[in-house]
């Protein structure tokens, strides 16, 4: 199915394509035009009672790092523009320039006295425009600056302000890919003990001994949440164990997309465990999209059917407490995992084991012990190591006033 080069080295192919693509665009990003010129010609001041020296040095430039369609205009204030002075506002005039011939100037906007910039957000890319700025006096008389040089707006292919994010993502992605390759090559990767995950086996086993059900709640968010994806992945492992132990696993879900995915997942797991016959269509079923409708539904099922083991893995909101407390009250073994900080205290309190934040994402690697998964976990750890080092170095540099290190991480322009 895949081209041969992709089959052989998929990671390498995708990443190198990505790099080439981005390099190309970052080069073209430097090719943006940035023009400015000083033109000061006083015009049309004859009839005015008070003469105002018009604004000068109208500089125009394409707005950088954008999708095009806008031009920045900047000018020197009229010397008379002081508090209580005669200038009340500036209006910005624009004309199209086609092959060197200027069209008519029309006013495109105005700003109050004291302001020296205007952003024209309504240009057509590629067309050349000439701007001038006029100071308006209280009497209504208008004093215009000279024309700017022609300028056109354009869209850029790379947002230079985001280069640090780009480098960061590339670094972390690089680590992950590197360690995945290492792991595939057979290198042993250590992973520390995670108590909550060691308990999964025991929890499934207990349900089997007691002859009771296992409930699995993959969070209440949709498939567009990465935590849900993590939850569904862990569901696969749990389903496999349940199939081996021949224990009834029930998965109530609250989103239709999750229903579709979870069904596939469980079905697959059963056939992987060699028990495709044991899989039942109704094991995974939909209740309602509504948070509390769902919580109430699951609650009712838990109280009536008294499962021996309940898993909560995924993204949760307020329903976490209802679920965990009810499960606790019937004495089920509960293992929870979520990246929702506000729900963690309840899971920590009411469940036997809780995967805190990032541990949820580590779970699928931990349970499967697949080299690829372990490798990505190691790569993720290296990302953390870089952050830890950056924290130490940065704190030292900044505390002793050597260098403002944190600007490296600045995202806002």
Footprint of other proteins on 36-75 (CB under 8 A): 65-68
CB of 273 to other proteins, least distance (A): 11
**Residue with Cβ nearer other proteins (56 or 254):** 254
Please report how close the Cβ of residue 395 comes to other proteins at its closest, in angstroms: 6
Q: Does 205 bind other proteins (CB under 8 A)?
A: no
Q: Is 353 in the site for other proteins (CB under 8 A)?
A: no
**Which one of 79-87, 94-102, 139-147, 387-395 is the stretch in contact with other proteins (CB under 8 A)?**
387-395
Binding mask 224-263 toward other proteins (x if CB under 8 A, else -) reads xxx--xx-xx--x------------------xxx-xxx--
One residue of 16, 264, 274, 276 binding other proteins per CB under 8 A: 264
Question: Nearer Cβ to other proteins, position 49 or 277?
Answer: 277
Kindly state the smallest distance separating residue 219's Cβ from other proteins, in Å.
12
Does residue 342 bind other proteins (CB under 8 A)? yes
Q: Which stretch binds other proteins (CB under 8 A): 37-45, 144-152, 206-214, 388-396?
A: 388-396
297 binds other proteins (CB under 8 A): yes
Q: Nearer to other proteins by C-beta: 39 or 328?
A: 328
| Cβ-based burial of 388 (10 A; exposed 0-12, middle 13-18, buried ≥19) | exposed
Q: Which is nearer to other proteins, 248 or 361 (CB)?
A: 361
- Select from 46-54, 89-97, 142-150, 313-321 the region that touches other proteins (CB under 8 A): 313-321
Give me 336's structure tokens: 């929870």
Instruction: Please choose, out of 46-54, 197-205, 211-219, 374-382, the segment that lies near other proteins by the rule CB under 8 A.
Output: 374-382
Contact between 208 and other proteins per CB under 8 A:
no
Structural contact between residues 181 and 317, judged by C-beta atoms closer than 8 angstroms:
no
According to CB under 8 A, which residues from 92 to 131 bind other proteins? Answer: 119, 121
Binding residue for other proteins (CB under 8 A) from 176, 207, 243, 249? 176
The answer to whether residues 57 and 88 touch, using CB atoms and an 8 Å cutoff, is no
Q: According to the binding rule CB under 8 A, does residue 159 interact with other proteins? A: yes
Burial class of residue 304, CB neighbours in 10 A (0-12, 13-18, 19+): exposed
Total site size for other proteins, rule CB under 8 A: 133
Window contacting other proteins (CB under 8 A); options: 33-41, 97-105, 140-148, 385-393: 385-393
Q: Of 155, 210, 278, 330, which one interacts with other proteins (CB under 8 A)? A: 155
Give the nearer residue to other proteins in terms of CB position, either 51 or 162.
162
Residue number with CB closer to other proteins (38 or 325): 325
Near other proteins in 266-295, by CB under 8 A: 267-269, 271-272, 282, 285-293, 295
> Nearer to other proteins by C-beta: 138 or 395?
395
Q: Smallest gap, in angstroms, from Cβ of residue 76 to other proteins?
A: 23
Cα radius of gyration rounded to whole Å, the chain = 32
Which of residues 20 and 43 has its CB atom nearest to other proteins in the complex? 20
Which segment (43-51, 96-104, 127-135, 316-324) binds other proteins by CB under 8 A? 316-324
Q: Mapped to the 3 state alphabet, what secondary structure does the chain carry?
A: CCCHHHHHCHHHHHHHHHHHHHHHHHHHHCCCCCCCCCCCCCCCCCCCCCCCCCCEEEEEEECCCCCCCCEEEEEECCCCCCCCCCEEEEEEEEEEEECCEECCCEEEEEEECCCCEEEECCCCCCCEEEEEEEEEECCCCEEECCCCCCECCCCCCCCHHHHHHHHHHHHHHHHHHHHHHHHHCCCCCCCCCCHHHHHHHHHHHHHHHHCCCEEEECCCCCCCCHHHHHHHHHHHHHHHHHHHHCCCEEEEECCHHHHHHHHHHHHHHHHHCCCHHHCCHHHEEECCCCHHHHHHHHHHHHHHHCCCEEEEECCCCCHHHHHHHHHHHCCCEEEEEECCCCCHHHHHHHCCEEEECHHHHHHHHHHHCCHHHHHHHHHHHHHHHHHHHHHHHHHHHHHCCCCCHHHHHCCCC
- Of 137, 135, 130, which Cα lies nearest the Cα of 152? 130
């Amino acid at each position: 199915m895949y081209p041969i080069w992709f089959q052989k080295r998929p990671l390498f192919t995708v990443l190198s394509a990505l790099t080439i693509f981005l390099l190309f665009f970052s080069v073209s990003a430097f090719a943006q035009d940035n023009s400015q010129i000083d033109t000061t010609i006083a015009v049309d001041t004859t009839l005015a009672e008070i003469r105002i020296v018009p604004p000068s040095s109208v500089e125009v430039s394409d707005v950088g790092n954008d999708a095009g369609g806008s031009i920045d205009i900047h000018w020197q204030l009229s010397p008379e523009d002081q508090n209580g002075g005669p200038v009340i506002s500036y209006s910005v005039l624009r004309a199209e320039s086609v092959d060197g011939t200027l069209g008519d100037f029309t006013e495109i906007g105005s700003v109050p006295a004291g302001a020296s910039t205007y952003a024209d957000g309504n240009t057509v890319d590629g067309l050349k425009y000439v701007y001038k700025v006029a100071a308006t006096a209280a009497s209504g008389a208008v004093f215009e600056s000279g024309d700017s040089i022609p300028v056109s707006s354009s869209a850029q292919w790379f947002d230079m302000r985001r280069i640090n994010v780009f480098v960061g993502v590339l670094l972390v992605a690089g680590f992950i890919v590197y360690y995945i390759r290492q792991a595939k090559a057979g290198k042993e990767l250590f992973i520390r003990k995670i108590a909550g995950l060691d308990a999964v086996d025991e929890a499934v086993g207990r349900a089997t001994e007691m002859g009771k059900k296992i409930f699995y709640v993959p969070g209440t968010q949709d498939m567009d949440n990465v935590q849900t994806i993590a939850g569904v992945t862990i569901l696969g492992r749990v389903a496999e164990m349940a199939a081996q132990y021949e224990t009834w696993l029930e998965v109530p879900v609250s989103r239709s997309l999750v229903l579709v995915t979870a069904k596939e997942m469980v079905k697959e797991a059963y056939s992987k465990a060699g028990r495709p016959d044991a899989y039942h269509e109704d094991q995974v079923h939909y209740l309602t999209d509504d948070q509390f409708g769902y919580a109430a539904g699951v609650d009712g099922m838990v109280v009536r059917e008294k499962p021996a083991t309940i898993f909560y893995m995924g993204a949760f909101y307020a329903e976490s407490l209802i679920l965990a407390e009810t499960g606790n009250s019937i004495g089920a073994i509960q293992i929870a995992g979520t990246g929702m900080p506000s729900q963690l205290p309840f899971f920590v309190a009411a469940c036997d084991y809780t995967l805190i934040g990032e541990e949820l994402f580590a779970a699928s690697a931990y349970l499967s012990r697949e080299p690829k998964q372990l490798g990505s976990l190691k790569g993720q750890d290296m990302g953390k190591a870089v952050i830890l080092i950056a924290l130490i170095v940065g704190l030292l540099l900044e505390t002793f006033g050597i260098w403002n290190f944190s600007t490296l991480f600045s995202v806002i322009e």
